[in-house]
Amino acid sequence: MSNFLASVAFNQWILHALVLLPLVGVVPVLLGDDRSARRTALVVSLIELVLSLGLWWSFDPVEGGMQLVSSAPWIPAWGISYRVGIDGISLFMVLLTTVMMPLSILASWSSITRRERAFYALMLTLLTGLIGVFIALDLFVFYVFFEIMLIPMYFIIGIWGGANRLYAAIKFFIYTMAGSLLMLVAIVVMAWKVAGATGTLSFSYEHLLANAGTLGSAAPWLFAAFALAFAIKVPIFPLHTWLPDAHVEAPTAGSVLLAAIMLKIGTYGFLRFAVPFFPQVALSPEVTHLMVLLAVIGVIYGALVAMVQPDIKKLVAYSSVSHLGFVMLGIWGVSVISVQGALMVMISHGISTGALFLLIGMIYERRHTRMIEDYGGIARVVPIFSLILTVVALSSIGLPGLNGFVGEFLVLLGSFPAYPWATGLATTGVIFAAAYLLWALQRMIFNRLDNPENESLTDLTRRELVVLLPLIVGIVWLGLFPGPVLRRMEPATQRFVETVQAGRPNPMQLSGQGSR
Amino acid sequence: MQLDLGTPMGVTLGLLPEILVCAWALIVLLVASWRHETAADSRLAGWLSFVGVALGGAGLAWLWINNTTPLGLAQMVTLDPFRYAAAALILVATGGAILLSLGYLERELLLAPEYYPLMLLAASGMMFLAGAEDLIVLFLGLEVMSVAVYVLAGYNRANASSSEAALKYFLIGAFASGFLLYGIALVYGATGTTNLSLIGAQLAGGQLSLMAALGLGLLLIGFGFKVAAVPFHMWAPDVYDGAPTPVTAFMATGVKIAAFAALVRVLVEGFPAAHGLWQPVIAGLAIASMIVGNLVALAQPTIKRMLAYSSIAHAGYLLAAVWPGTRLGSGAVLLYLAAYGLTTLASFGFLAALGRHGERSVTYDDLAGLAVTRPWIAAGLSICMLSLLGFPGTFGFIGKWYILSALIAEGQIILPVVLVITSVISAGYYLPVIMAMYMKSPASEDVHQGVRLYPAAAGAIALSVVAVLVFGFWPRGALEASVHSTGTLSQMSVPVARK
């Protein structure tokens, strides 16, 4: 495989192709008629998936730095170039994106019946934006992708969403924009300050990372701006209030992509930018305490609120707040194990929660209700659906042998030495997760079949099985054999931990940090 | 090429674009005095005037390509790229406004062809204003521009709010001119000259006298009125709302471009030594305009009034770009004027089409479902709204990025933070436009039936929208042009001291 990829110079064009292909695909989608739009979009996203799978082999698993880097000048007068590359962190984010996209498109097959061309064109545009965010190595380019993907998601929620879609769409947009614009100021300030110290105005990631030490007393403010932008995206408690609205109102494909990928942009931002740029701020006692506290609150609060939701989609939305709390805890654990765990949670949450939203979408299409109490005992009517829902729910809970367990276990293991109390508290989140999901399962698919409307439910179609099967395979495979994935992550996490630990404030000279 | 502005020939050549536009306006008037009956006559005057704009553009291009500079000290008017760039923007705005007017005037039965020569006269006044090196010329340019625009604002005589707009604009404008003239007099009293470079030289180094400071303050008030900065903005919403829509487009773009170009030149060439005095004032005006403009725009029921308040907010962003007084800052002013001008022209163009016959005021609800029946108009208007919002991928974002860079390069942080926070607020009124068009269903099937975009206007709007996108993704050329244009401006002036 590697030889074949090398013979076609795969590494030189793959990242550009991944960004451009969906945009090119928008053209036939818009030119065709409404019924063929979905097929075209599916084909484009499948080609994208096949291409991206090549990264698995062409990626060098022992290299910790950026790979496949290539750049082209964009606005040279301002030190801006179109610069892309991946490492062991972004590789999996890219793969997660390319896997989830065709599944989301296939899941929209029958549920999107109006303005299909527009819908699938927006999905493909969103794909470009998501890939771009994860591979950008220039902060201007990153910002542009970070913002541009708001537009397709705004339309997807606003046009094809539920009853309260307008409110959810504008809330989602304004929350994200509020954070990201302050980050824009921080990016410009950072570039000019580094330019003042080094004489080179450049927005290149490596240049800024190498010279972030020259920022001095501005660092806390800059960190705050970056952290706010990503914290809203994650979302960290108490900035999470846009999430339930957006996830619940969005159509199934929108919810899947929001949960599986767009939330990860926040944690990815912490891993890639906020923490490595400003380790002396991020790991200072005050910030550490705050972030760990908010992470643990997120884990427990998300789980408790999920428990009382009558709406299954809202329950899953709040469970995201809980899971993402684990990721934040893992990042702030700053050990190779905890950060690997955080990455694993990011991937597993993408797969499991994506699958949950898909399943909810499928049952909603049949019954047009998301209220848990409207169901009950449907395991007898739709056994395959119930079986898959149970497996996915167990993986989300973190049952050993399935994917959810690996990440959360590593996070708890890796963070325990640094924060024994916080880790102990976070462990209860796993228990709560079992409580809310199993209870919901019990009320939905077990119990007595007492609602006659549920008796005529039909089980999953072949198309729906095709959508779910890859995710089930992923759930089991990652749970049993996480090794190959962890191995590819390890050099990059190692490097992350080293960078951050090197910049960690020394307790002896904390007071002298500002004047550096 | 160097021109000796002391000789009649030199002055004539140096003022070629202004003279061409002005003389052409008289020719069009002459034609109009014979032919002023039918719609065809109005159209003829319109196209003739468009030719006049093109002629002015040709004259300008000749000066710019030859890189014309003055021999010795520039008196009365300057010859530098900053003037050329501002004049080019003014001509684009004028040409655009003429194209927007062509179908509109016929639809609204405003067939008096004198409309177009007035636009040309206003344009020549704007170009004088943007190129003035002397405060007297500046005042003359301002008056030529203003008087013509007063008449244009009240062009729809049958409409009470149009007449009200004209009267209001005239009274407030006269008031502002008074301030400006007093300021000029005091500055003359303090320095003994009205030439900007000489004023700059006089004030350099020495203590600023009270008289000069007062003069500067009155000048700033006068400019504050003209650019509609808070707290001198009260006239703007009513005037923008009442005037015929293409005239509003002309006011929001042309008048702003000219006034900001003049403001930058006065401050950077005439008062660089007094930057300690004017920078806080400009910062205060900028912050007030950004906050008030954006907040009040949230509460507007009609699109036109919303755009009027949003133009106040944009005056705030532009004032923020004036603050640094550096080459980067002046470049940011030019670039933002270009971005804002193109976007605003297209937005008002769409609005004129959506108003339909009788110029009904368009509310957010009137736009409901437009994307289904008129997808191109909806897409174009959405791009305009995103550009005004400063969203990446549009020219508006490049403009805002440039302003942020210019401010941050000088160590200013408060203005950038206010700018981005108020930009988030502005999403609260730009997005509902998109939301109404795409996410709401129309009240009835045929609600958008009367919407018609006339070919000339459609062409102008399409060009503007495409330019907004192209410069949003490939801003390199525009950036380099704006940086190049400010070169001589800072060479002639005493550089503003960095803190």
Query: Residues A486-505: pLDDT tens digits?
Result: 988 888 898 889 888 887 76
Interface of B with A in 461-490 (CB under 8 A): 475-476, 479-480, 483
Domain count, chain A: 1
| B497 pLDDT above the threshold of 60 | no
Token pair in block for residue B118: 């007035």
Q: Which residue has the tokens 């497996």?
A: A391
Structural domain includes residue A309: yes
pLDDT score at B59 = 93
Structural domain includes residue A347: yes
pLDDT score at A507 = 52
If you measure CA to CA, which chain A residue comes closest to B392?
A144
pLDDT score at B359 = 62
> Measured between CA atoms, how close is B287 to chain A, in angstroms?
16
Please, is B65 exposed, middle or buried when counting C-beta atoms within 10 Å of its C-beta (0-12, 13-18, 19+)?
exposed
Query: Residues A354-392: pLDDT tens digits?
Result: 999 999 999 888 888 888 888 888 888 888 999 999 999
| A509 pLDDT above the threshold of 50 | no
Interchain proximity B479–A75, CB inside 8 Å: yes
- C-alpha span between B297 and B303 (Å, rounded): 9
Of A407-416, A447-456, B252-261, the range with the lowest mean pLDDT is A447-456
Query: Residues B305-324: pLDDT tens digits?
Result: 999 999 999 999 999 999 98
A108 in Cβ contact with A116 (< 8 Å): no
DSSP-assigned states of every residue in A267-321: HHHIIIIIHHH-HHHHTSHHHHHHHHHHHHHHHHHHHHHHHT-SBHHHHHHHHHH
pLDDT score at B344 = 95
Q: Does B408 touch chain A (CB under 8 A)?
A: yes
Nearest to A75 among B423, B438, B476 (CB): B476
Q: Does A158 touch chain B (CB under 8 A)?
A: yes
A434 in Cβ contact with A404 (< 8 Å): no
| A514 pLDDT above the threshold of 70 | no
Mean pLDDT of chain A: 88
- C-alpha span between A112 and A119 (Å, rounded): 8
Q: Give the pLDDT mean for A330-342.
A: 91
If you measure CA to CA, which chain A residue comes closest to B471?
A75
pLDDT score at A199 = 85
Nearest to B408 among A181, A182, A188 (CB): A188
| B112 pLDDT above the threshold of 60 | yes
A165 in Cβ contact with A109 (< 8 Å): no
At A360, the amino acid letter reads I
Interchain proximity B427–A174, CB inside 8 Å: yes
- C-alpha span between A98 and A126 (Å, rounded): 11
Interface of B with A in 247-306 (CB under 8 A): none
Secondary structure (3-state) at A405: helix
Structural domain includes residue A467: yes
pLDDT score at B489 = 66
Token pair in block for residue B16: 């070629």
> Measured between CA atoms, how close is B248 to chain A, in angstroms?
29
* Beta bridge pairs of residue A86: A67
| B491 pLDDT above the threshold of 60 | no
Q: Does B404 touch chain A (CB under 8 A)?
A: yes
| B45 pLDDT above the threshold of 70 | yes
Interchain proximity B435–A166, CB inside 8 Å: yes
- C-alpha span between A283 and A333 (Å, rounded): 10
Interchain proximity A159–B386, CB inside 8 Å: no
pLDDT category at B143 given cuts 50, 70, 90 is: very high
Of A269-273, A290-294, A378-382, A406-410, the range with the lowest mean pLDDT is A378-382
Q: Give the pLDDT mean for A432-450.
A: 87
Interface of B with A in 120-179 (CB under 8 A): none
Q: Give the pLDDT mean for A96-122.
A: 89
Secondary structure (3-state) at A250: coil
Residue A86 parent element (H or E): strand A80-86
Token pair in block for residue B408: 């941050």
Q: Give the pLDDT mean for B441-461.
A: 82
Structural domain includes residue A337: yes
If you measure CA to CA, which chain A residue comes closest to B409?
A192
A256 in Cβ contact with A107 (< 8 Å): yes
Highest mean pLDDT, choosing among A148-157, B107-116, B357-366: A148-157
| A510 pLDDT above the threshold of 50 | no
pLDDT score at B453 = 83
Interchain proximity B428–A76, CB inside 8 Å: no
Interchain proximity B420–A184, CB inside 8 Å: yes
Domain count, chain B: 1
The range of the structural domain enclosing residue A432 comes to 283-505
Contact residues, chain A, for B408 at CB < 8 Å = 185, 188-189, 192
Structural domain includes residue B498: no
> Measured between CA atoms, how close is B281 to chain A, in angstroms?
23
Q: Does B182 touch chain A (CB under 8 A)?
A: no
Q: Which residue has the tokens 């000088």?
A: B410
Higher pLDDT, A149 or A77: A149
- C-alpha span between A324 and B225 (Å, rounded): 52
Contact residues, chain B, for A173 at CB < 8 Å = 427, 431
The range of the structural domain enclosing residue B443 comes to 2-492
DSSP-assigned states of every residue in B98-161: HHHHHHHHHHTT---TTHHHHHHHHHHHHHHHHHBSBHHHHHHHHHHHHHHHHHHHT--TT-HH
Query: Residues A299-327: pLDDT tens digits?
Result: 999 999 999 999 999 999 999 999 999 99
Query: Residues B346-399: pLDDT tens digits?
Result: 999 999 888 877 667 888 888 888 888 888 899 999 999 999 999 998 999 999
Token pair in block for residue B147: 């008087």
b/e code B396-408 from CB counts within 10 Å (16+ = b): bbbbbbbbbbbbb
pLDDT score at B375 = 87
- C-alpha span between A116 and A110 (Å, rounded): 10
- C-alpha span between B141 and A337 (Å, rounded): 71
Q: Does B413 touch chain A (CB under 8 A)?
A: yes
pLDDT category at B499 given cuts 50, 70, 90 is: very low
Token pair in block for residue B404: 């942020």
Interchain proximity A173–B421, CB inside 8 Å: no
Structural domain includes residue B16: yes
Nearest to B420 among A74, A154, A182 (CB): A182
Contact residues, chain A, for B409 at CB < 8 Å = 192
pTM for the whole structure = 0.91
Q: What percent of chain A has pLDDT over 90?
A: 43
Q: Does B379 touch chain A (CB under 8 A)?
A: no
